[in-house]
Structure 1
Amino acid sequence: MLARPPVPLNPSAFPPTMQQQSQTTSQAFSNQYRSPILPPNFQENQQYQTQPQNPNQPPVLPPNSSGSQPYSSQNSLMHPLSHPPSSINQEQFHSQSPQMIPNGTNQPGAQHPYINSGLQLSSTSLQPEYDASNQSRPPTTIANPQFQNAPPHLNATSSNMNGTPSFKPGQYHKVQPVYNRSSSPYPPNNQAPVPPVGHTSQFNYPNISGPSSMPSNLVTGANTYPGQPPLGGPNAYPGQPPLGGPNAYSGQPPSSGPNAYPGQPPLGGPNAYSGQPPSSAPNTYPGQPPLGGPNAYPGQPPPSGPNAYPGQPPASGPNPYPGQPPASGPNAYPGQPLLSGPAQQPMTQTRIDPNIVPNVIQVLEQSQEKIQEPFITNAPGLLPPLAATNFTCQDQGSCNPRFMRSTTYAIPNTADIVKQSHIPLALSISPLAEVRSDELEPPLANFGETGPVRCHRCKAYMCSFMQFIDGGKRFICCYCEAATDVPNEYFNHLDHSGRRMDWYQRPELCIGSYEILATKQYCKDEKWPEPPAFIFMIDVSYNSVRSGLVEYICHILKNDLLDYLPKDRNAETSTVRVGFATFDKKIHFYNIKSTLGQPQMMVVSDIEDIFVPLLDGFLCLPQTSRGVINSLLDQIPQTFANTQETETILAPVIQSGIQALKGANCSGKIYIFSTTLPIAVAPGKLSNREDKKLLGTEKEKALFSPANDVYTKLGEECAQSGCAVDLFVFPNNYVDLATIGEVCRLSGGEIYKFNYFSIDNDGERLLDELKRNFQRTTVFDALMRIRTNTGIRPVDFLGHFYMTNSTEMIFGTMDADKTVAVELKHDDKLPTEGNSYVQVALLYTSISGQRRLRVLTLALTVTSSYASLYPLCDLDTIMNYTMKVAIRSILLSTPKSIRDSIITQTANMLACYRKHCAQSTAAGQLILPETLKLLPMYAAALLKSDLLTGTQTVTTDDRSWLIHRLMSMNIKGSSAYLYPRIYPLHTLEENQIPPPMVRCLYERFSDSGAYVIENGLVMYIWLGSQIDPTFVQNLFGFPTAANIQPERCRIIELDNPLSKNVRTLLNLIRNERNSHMKLFVIRQRDPMEPFFKNYLAEDKGFTGGASYVDFLYHLHREIRNILQ
């Protein structure tokens, strides 16, 4: 162990000022920035060029891309699978066309604002596929010409099964008014006509041709979409004709036949579509199997009968479907109504209209419109607003949903219901989440020397759901139902309702989130903790110096960051101490004691047995040592300006930081700034093990597992010492984030990645990320435990922490951006007459050194029926938990089996709803419950995300970074990741920021428009090929879009309204995401555009994966297979 004696630092003792080397590596953009930013070595692909579309033709499903991995069946990693998903490819997606109908008449009533407003997708049943040998087909004709010009007839809606729903006082339905405006895509005077369907609760917008095709468009029901009139009842709307029945329009002849509406295609007959050319192309869709033939469906009986078409059984018998051709015969496909009549035609392949399927933008806008009052948490089981909406919460019993959410707010009373429904029973907990300025911060309660009041049996802390008895002398625990004596110091009398007289004065008795000032019994060794410290450890190797990183970090620390050190609320100054060290193959420690005239450097070259050569003077308050610190930060770049050292170490650097904090008897953070893979001979040495050939195979999980346990043990030591590592990496090559990231994962730290760092492109982003890191709420040396009522318990934990037992999570640090997911499991049957309660207790050291407890309480209802389970599901939480389960499975399974598990779980969730809550609907209908109507959309997006695609377009380090970020991501962030937000820039107005969002569909982009798309991790600006040059000049300062460098583009400050509005919007997005996302510019038809299209969640991914509409086809088939 060698340590140099203290050396006084002065400018004359250092080499001359280093020459600024600001030129960065000039590599091609496609090679520099890799996914999730950009693909490597990407070449232009002609199949992604936009093609003009004939508006008179229905949209056509794209062919299956060669090389894409179809969905197939594997065992579920999440739930038991009774019916595995069938193998799927793009051809199979075209075999059926689900259509939308409401489930308002099929869903039993429940006490919830979304009662009986579920969305149903009514599908054509499996149709026989077209026979390629059938080269000649007769033209389609109108079956019933006499009804071609008949007036439209609205249909009646049958009443709810359980009548009018009842609501509890204070329930969220108060802020969900009934809507009157039409949300139809048609203009008000050009509404699509509605065909008569007898007395069913559906109406169809046919957009397909062919006599054996059922309509495949949206059918809405009660409260399905705001702006649509209610369908049914004599009092639907004043002044409107009655809805439904053969004599609904008095004075008009009753409607009959399938084609009673003008302007709509008939459903069959010998003269359907007269005047239209025959549809005879056998291979209408490239890559699609022929539609028919005797072997179109293996295992099905051959066709028979004089009028049977290839692959289709004959039709006969009465008409069981009102308004639709009858279905019968021994060879009828399940749920498929077959045609009767003398001249049936082969069906024409169709697809679902993307405009009528449930979409995220519409749901978010509708949810936002419903929010007119604060969300009040004064009763158990209230479903909160969507996480992405802008709402205010009033805490009156349960905690703010920003702190804790549940996958369902009606806990099933038995494990069998959870198993059958496949709805995960889990919590998403963000104990330090930021609240709005008009919301209540958790108040601080002081119980004095006696400490907090707790249940003597289960140790739960006092909450608003505890019941006081015996005149206030005892209380009944809502978790274990034990009676506990009230301490004399805490006693108070009860009023006539059994509530304490000081109920409003004590936060623990009236709100669901509060803090407790802890006593010494909650401190290590019963000693008050010291305020935390920050240690900055900077890589001074050749790569770091050459890129200008060393000089820039020292500059921003001196001039910006030391003024942003965190402090307690209402505190005047920060109590955080700071320390500095640099490293290459050695570690250099600096003495910044305020009594020194110049900083002193001490070098440790024996890194096998690392130690800290000084304690006194290493950690100091910036207020007292600012002059010495400024001198040090000026001299570091000069000292290492001419270094030629290219090898670095890392594990000993982290170890020395931990020892420095231990020696100061404090918690804190270690900020590591590293540029290369630690290949120097030392503990924690790593080698390049990247092998792109393994990506997407069964062996790829080895790439995302740690190469050794050195960094894992360091992470565990950090967590137990009350500190964390925040790793800032600036790589030009592979750095093995899967291994070195372990120390961040286990300690509660963060990874920031800056590929090919340059000050011009990334300097502002680095500064903003460090400011955000300093300013967000952060606590240290934290321990979290979750308590539940008898009958359920937490069994699984997902996030960034360390566990020494099965109940307590240990965090070196915990901040406002971190979220953990917890799965609950039944131990016993729950009584349905009671409620279920969850309490989260977080013990931590504050930024000022106070030991505190934060207590969060959530009350849920208990149910024994599926009908009341589904209306209280929170899809945002379900997807956040599902995504984190998939992330954990990456180290245990293959991408293909993970995707199959997600498909299986999604299909089973919807199949269970179809089986138990919508039994009266036809078998060919895909039914979506109101709260889960976006489940197929989010599931499809997750399946084709960079997280699970397993392709070589995403580097190993990028995927490791993505895994790390998503594992601790909150619900709002995961929602944006799965469905990125798109805003138009070419129509941006100052009084409309942010502007209305655009759906993630390429067809929604205008060639003359500009759009910004963000998913919380990266941001793009897309420029159309016909963009106005004036727009480009006002925004970027270039005469044309061709002058813009995609990876080096900046929105400069120009004095014009467009520049100001766009900068305002981008800053708003970054503030909302709590991240300074990297910005790229993509021009239409650029070679990088196909990669950009991968973020369009509703389209087909360029690395594989089905579009939203295609996934609905497959999901419908999976559900039918399960039900059959």
Structure 2
Amino acid sequence: MTKYRGGSPRRRDVTESTAAPEPGRPCTSNDGGTVQRRCADKKTGYILKQDASDSCGGDAAIRTKRKTSTNRNTPQGTMHIPAANQSHVDSPTWPRPQGHSTWPAPVSRDRTPATYCPVGGLEKVSAPAGSGAPPRLVFTDCPASSTPPTFPTGPGLEGPQSWGNLPSTDLPPQLGLPAEPSLPNGMSDSCEPSPFPSCHAVTRPPPGGSSTEQAGRAQSPRAQSRYGLDPRLIPSAVKVIEDDRGEWAGQVFVSDTSGQLPPLSSTECTVEDRGNASPRFIRCTSYSFPCDGGAAQSCHLPLGAVVTPLARLGPGERPLPVVMRGAETGCVLSCGGCGSSMCPFMTWQDSGQRFHCPFCGHITEVPWQNYQPTDRGGRRVDSELHPELCRGSYEILEKHTQRECPGLLLAVDVSGQAVRGGQLALVCHQLRALLASLSRDYTSLGKSALRVGVVTYDRSLHLYNLSPALSRPHMLVVTETEDLELPVWEGLLVSLEDGRDAIDCVLEQIPRLFVDAEDTPVSQDLPLRSALKIFKAAGCPGKVLVFHTAPPSDGKVNCSSGPSGFFSSSKTKSPFQPPEPCGSLARECVAQGCSLHLFLFSQQAVGGTWAGHGPSLTGGRVYNYECFQGEADAERFGSDLRRCVEAETGYRAELRVSVSKGLRVSGCFGAFSPGPDPAVISLAAIDWHTALAVQFMHHSSLDEHRGVAMQMRLSYTSSQGERRTRVHSLGLRCSRHLVDTFRNSQAETLLSFYCKRAYCAVLDRPLQAVRDELVTELTEALACYRQHCSSTALTHGQLVLPQCLKALPVYVNSLRKSEVLLPGQGSSVPQRLQLRGQLVAMDPTHTAAYFYPELLPLPLCEQSVGDGAPAAAVRCSGSSLDSRGLYLAHSSLALLLWVGQHVPLSVLSHLFNASSFSQLPCGECCLPTLDNPLSLRVRAVIETLRSCTAFTLKLQVVKQGDHSEEALQHLLVEDKSPNGGASYPDFLYHVHINSLQLLA
């Protein structure tokens, strides 16, 4: 039986997961030159000595063995967070600094040595009597029964207040994040040149459990904290996801209440639209906005929404209703003032004769032919008959518009490299099979005819007249390509139904026509320029699929000195910033609705400006097939090609954002060229997994009783050539209590918002500044929550996190040390450009899966395969791996199968058809098709994970102890990353100490 949940806003049970911070034993120095701090560790008994004169950080600790006493009254299995900027006496309240009458006070940058020494993973700990040790580490939300404190009015609304970020040099040496050294040759990014260690360099069973159960489990050196924190005792993103799935998986979320906190995007549930848009379309950073602008600035949580206008509906969910514009619908479809579409948040007046718009405040008269009276509740009596009155999402079909069936242009590289490498023959074969399948599908479904064209290119352009009136196709060669003009345009785009034979004939003959092709310079920008000309001549939008093999024309890959032509660029402020010619052509593509999709087969990197900026600015994608070989890559290419062509896409799209009076749209972030108005975004094309982030700002106070309403209207041309407008409306609550903003936030949505904003900021800001801003904003938000939303007295040793944001620190740390913001030694500018283009357009589900991948233990015997349920995920750390197990690491862009050294031979035989560990394949491969339960189950899990992504993921087998483990280390986001990023425990410690210093 399906359980319906809805009605009043969901309130989470307030729980406190605690871990006790225990200070070390403070001691004084007689000579004043050394500060000695003793850590009560029964197992190691170390005394840590640090030279007080060493203020540059680093590992200056000297370990000497010493026995210590224990305290039996101290809880076991505790984690220790050292306190900073406090004496050895507990301080139950936060004193206000002298001379400051308003909050927050200026940050004190006076260096204060830490009083306590961090030690983690203790069985028993001791503390001197009367030492004033801080209580246990607390991850808590305010109790439900307590009255949340009212936040005082802050400073001005427009001028953002800043506490400033404490750099590592202003902290004691042990408190700063690890230094990020600069790249050689004056590059502005950071890397760590140290070699990659094995994920299992140290083998020892962790505390707890028998040695037999833990014999194969190991502790990764990258998972160990600099400060001795036990990673098992800090908040777990896996636990947060599991708890949400336990509450909502398989149930129905009813969106009938404004401000209701939805399930996480990773939870599979059914959504029923009863007046608010589904969270599949809109997710907000918080579902309770502050009423006052000063409070909104002081909480340091962005007020925004992540919008996926064409998101796919879940299984069993009703399709969006369609309303005909221009027909006698019986209801007014838009506001007469701002043009906002009708939604359930319009309030009716004078018994339904007029309605009030919450977005502009305009009163619109209702035409007499559309009038209907209202009931006692103020709703029209025919509300349930009209989707625009009772649904949060619906579509408007523009009736009196001319059909513009989109085109599909196939641009194939016919250079010598493509011919000799076999890519040309493969591409033509796959295209023939795809078009034959599409022709059958479109005929059976009765869809409008798809218009298809074919061009080939090297240093010249080859056009093909596919008109059915000709006895056979004609080929036209254009050699003057700098100032490109089409000699003819008729027959370049034809209906797939009418020109099926001609298209198949051309694709069959192309490999033979260019069998003697030479290695000549290839104009990389030529396919897009020619496609734009063809679509303009035909008067339609469309996709251009470019299948490119040749390397850059001059052998350069740096986007600041790329090849000649349109996609070349002069030196810009940032390697991520597109050159002006690229932006100019992208704007032409947006106006025409021309979307570029790149399929790259080059053995060396293609110029970053072309592959990095072209698809991203036009709503397209990049598909990479480096070192193309074997049936596995051919199958992956065929799957990607079909997904690209069959994806439901909107062309010539325009997104308009409306929000309640008192708020305004202050910014929009995503894969598009920004315009003068942040509330209006123009896109060449948009598909089901493309998302944008919108940020709001107060310009006046909000009414706590009215709440907040927002509306996203996407006007686009569908794949059938119809002009439609998709409307999404959502209502939120607003509160004068700042604690409500934190309680109704979601870490996954904040991660997606931060990602899009940070990746847009790298266009004109240094990477270090972007990374520092992420840390500063998180630190200030936690400090604000600690001071204004905690209902109990706290000491410096207590770490307080909002219940709904327990996973936010690990998400932010993973974002700040990503390849785009913190490149490693092996990262190239073209790779980072392509990665940025993919991530900045991702929806919240795939963004969260990329920055915190799933690490799934696989079954090892037939008995565990029987129920068919996959094992629960474990934390993304090397310490979670067992040398006797198999683990599947899955993110939005990667799929790795890790094999431990001590996996039973029977498992290797049933899964890989190998008799020993040394015979296992390493790297990209396909699992053999074996007829046994283990092989069937594992391959089914892999296919399920592949089906949920926009790209067909290649499977990479990683053996324990092999050099290929570095690929896995990039997915273990809780550990120290190979590019120099801090581990999750160290980052959490750093944020905690900085938040304390902000309040000192």
TM range, smaller chain:
0.7 to 0.9
**8 Å contact 2:709–2:732 — kept in the other structure?**
yes
Distance across 1 between alignment mates of 2:431 and 2:757: 39
Give the corresponding residue for 1:926.
Answer: 799
Map 1:154-233 to 2 at 5 A: 207-211=123-127
Equivalent positions of 1:698-1097 (< 5 A) are 702-706=574-578, 708-806=579-677, 807-918=679-790, 920-987=793-860, 989-1097=865-973
Which residue of 1 is the match for residue 535 of structure 2? 661
Gap change, CA 1:291 and 1:219, over 3 Å in 2: closer
1:375 aligns with 2:253: yes
TM-score normalised by structure 2 residue count? 0.78
- Supply the distance in 2 between the matched residues of 1:1121 and 1:566 (Cα, whole angstroms): 67
Q: TM-score, normalised by structure 1?
A: 0.69
Distance 1:530 1:951 in 2: 46
Identify the match of residue 575 of structure 1 among 442, 446, 449: 449
Contact persistence 1:566–1:576 (CA under 8 A): no
Please state whether the residue corresponding to 1:509 is helix, strand or coil. Answer: helix
CA distance 1:149–1:655, shift in 2 (3 Å):
closer
Q: What is aligned with 2:191? A: none
Q: Distance in 2 between matches of 1:1026 and 1:689?
A: 50
In the alignment, structure 1 residue 357 sits paired with structure 2 residue 357: no
1:464 aligns with 344
Contact kept, 8 Å, 1:359 with 1:934, in 2: the verdict is: yes
Secondary structure, counterpart of 2:534 in structure 1 = helix
Residue 69 of structure 2 aligns to which amino acid in structure 1?
Answer: T
CA shift digits 1:111-165 (9 cap, x unpaired): 7512644656664469664326998776323567xx7999xxxxxxxxxxxxxxx
Shift of the alpha carbon at 1:596? 3.1
CA 143–481 in structure 1, closer or farther in 2 if over 3 Å, else same: closer
Asked if 2 retains the 8 angstrom alpha-carbon contact of 1:679 and 1:685, the reply is no
Contact 2:593/2:683, CA 8 A, preserved across alignment: yes
Distance 1:1063 1:137, change over 3 A: closer
Q: Deviations over 1:570-601 (max 9, x none)?
A: 94234211000000001111112223333221
Secondary structure of 2:820 counterpart? helix
Question: Structure 1 CA distance, aligned partners of 2:65 and 2:675?
Answer: 71
Alignment partner for residue 444 of structure 1, among 322, 325, 349? 322
Question: Equivalent residue of 1:752, what SS?
Answer: strand
1:590-669 pair list within 5 angstroms: 590-669=464-543
For residues 905 and 417 of structure 1, the distance between their equivalents in structure 2, rounded to whole angstroms, comes to 15
| Residue aligned with 1:580, SS | strand
Q: Which of the residues 400, 423, 447 maps onto 2:301?
A: 423
Q: 2:181 — aligned with what? A: none
Deviations, residues 739-759 of structure 1 (Å, cap 9, x unaligned) = 453232222122222222235
How big is the shift at 1:1100? 1.5
1:217, 1:1099 → 2: CA distance? 24
Say if 1:633 and 1:1117 are closer, same or farther in 2 by CA, change over 3 A. same
Q: Report the counterpart of residue 397 of structure 1 in structure 2.
A: 275
Equivalent residue runs for 1:252-271 within 5 Å: none
> 112, 128, 131: which is aligned to 2:49?
131
Q: Which amino acid aligns with 2:824?
A: T
Query: For the structure 1 residues 473 and 742, does the alpha-carbon distance in structure 2 shift closer, same or farther, using more than 3 Å as the test?
Result: same
Cα shift at 1:561:
4.3
Deviation at 1:970, TM superposition (A): 0.6
Q: Distance in 2 between the 1:717 and 1:291 partners?
A: 54
1:277 matched residue in structure 2: none
Instruction: Give the Cα separation in 2 of the matches to 1:1051 and 1:455.
Output: 58
Q: How much does 1:479 deviate? A: 1.9
Distance 1:459 1:118, change over 3 A: farther
Between the aligned partners of 2:752 and 2:9, the Cα distance in structure 1 is 26
CA distance in 1, matches of 2:918, 2:620: 41
The 1:1099–1:291 alpha-carbon spacing in structure 2 relative to 1, beyond 3 Å, is closer
- Once residues 632 and 515 of structure 1 are traced to their aligned partners in structure 2, the CA distance between those partners, rounded to angstroms, is 40
- The structure-2 alpha-carbon separation of the partners of 1:947 and 1:792, relative to structure 1 and needing over 3 Å to count, comes to same
- Label 1:469 to 1:613 Cα distance change in 2 as closer, same or farther (>3 A): same
Aligned to 1:322: none
Letter in 1 for 2:817: K
Say whether residues 1:114 and 2:12 are aligned partners. yes
Q: Distance in 1 between matches of 2:64 and 2:915?
A: 55
1:1104 to 967, 980, 986: 980
Change beyond 3 A, Cα 1:494–1:677: same
Q: 1:532 aligns to what? A: 406
Change (3 A) 1:1015 1:142: closer
Residues in 2 aligned to 1:122 and 1:832: alpha-carbon distance in whole angstroms:
39
Distance 1:1048 1:905 in 2: 40
Say which is worse superposed, 587-596 or 831-840, in terms of deviation.
587-596
- Counterpart of 1:1024, as a letter, is G
Q: Percent identity?
A: 30
CA 1:220–1:1108: 2 relative to 1, 3 Å: closer
Moved more, 1050-1059 or 208-217: 208-217
Whether 1:1123 and 2:999 are equivalent positions in the alignment is yes
Summarize deviations over 1:311-343 as a string: whole Å, max 9, x none: xxxxxxxxxxxxxxxxxxxxxxxxxxxxxxxxx
| Bigger Rg, structure 1 or 2 | 1
Over aligned residues, Cα RMSD in angstroms? 3.3
Q: Please tell me whether the aligned partners of residues 358 and 933 of structure 1 are also in contact (alpha carbons under 8 angstroms).
A: yes
Distance 1:1078 1:828 in 2: 51
Partner in structure 2 of residue 86 of structure 1: none
Distance 1:1006 1:206 in 2: 22
Supply the distance in 1 between the matched residues of 2:795 and 2:443 (Cα, whole angstroms): 60
Indicate whether 1:518 and 2:395 are aligned.
no
Q: Hey, what's the Cα distance between the residues in 1 that align with 2:513 and 2:743?
A: 65
The amino acid of 1:791's aligned partner reads: G
- What's the offset of the Cα at 1:1106? 1.6
Determine which of 353, 364, 367 is the counterpart of 1:487. 367
CA separation of 1:800 and 1:990: change in aligned 2, threshold 3 A: farther
Q: Secondary structure at the match of 1:949?
A: coil
- Please state how far the C-alpha of 1:607 moved relative to its aligned partner: 0.5
The answer as to whether partners of 1:791 and 1:830 remain within 8 angstroms in 2 is yes
2:574–2:764 CA contact under 8 A, matched in 1: no
Contact 1:678 1:686 in 2 (8 A): no
**Aligned mates of 2:127, 2:515 — CA distance in 1:** 79
Distance verdict in 2 for CA 1:559–1:143, change over 3 Å: closer
* Structure 1: unaligned runs, 5 residues or longer: 1-109, 151-203, 225-229, 233-287, 293-347, 521-526, 691-698
Give the counterpart letter for 1:1092 in structure 2: L
Residues 122 and 490 (structure 1), Cα distance of their counterparts in 2 relative to 1, 3 Å cut:
farther
How much has 1:516 moved relative to structure 2?
0.6
Paired residues in the alignment total: 828
**C-alpha distance in structure 2 between counterparts of 1:462 and 1:809, whole Å:** 21
Given residue 436 of structure 1, which amino acid in structure 2 is its aligned partner? G
Deviation for aligned residue 1:210:
4.3
Query: Displacement of 1:886 after TM fit?
Result: 1.6
Within 5 Å, give how 1:73-152 maps onto structure 2: 113-114=11-12, 116-117=14-15, 123-124=21-22, 129=37, 130-131=48-49, 139-142=67-70
Deviations 1:887-922 (A, max 9, x none): 122232333222221111111111110010116222
Give CA deviations for 1:389-414 in whole Å, capped at 9, x if unaligned. Answer: 11111111110000011101111112
Shift in alpha-carbon separation, 1:599–1:749, aligned structure 2, 3 A: same
> Aligned partners of 2:560 and 2:459: how far apart in 1?
14
- 1:277-288 to structure 2, matched below 5 A, reads none
The answer to whether structure 1 residue 497 and structure 2 residue 425 are counterparts is: no
In the alignment, which residue of structure 2 is the partner of 1:563? 437
Letter in 1 for 2:323: A
Aligned-pair CA distance for 1:618: 1.4
Amino acid at match of 1:978: F
Q: 1:481 to 1:370 in 2, by over 3 A?
A: same
Going from structure 1 to structure 2, the CA distance change for 1:619 and 1:349 (only over 3 Å counts) comes to closer
Task: Work out the CA distance in 2 between the residues paired with 1:1114 and 1:609.
Answer: 57
CA contact (8 A) 1:131 1:291 kept: no
The residue aligned with 1:672 is 546
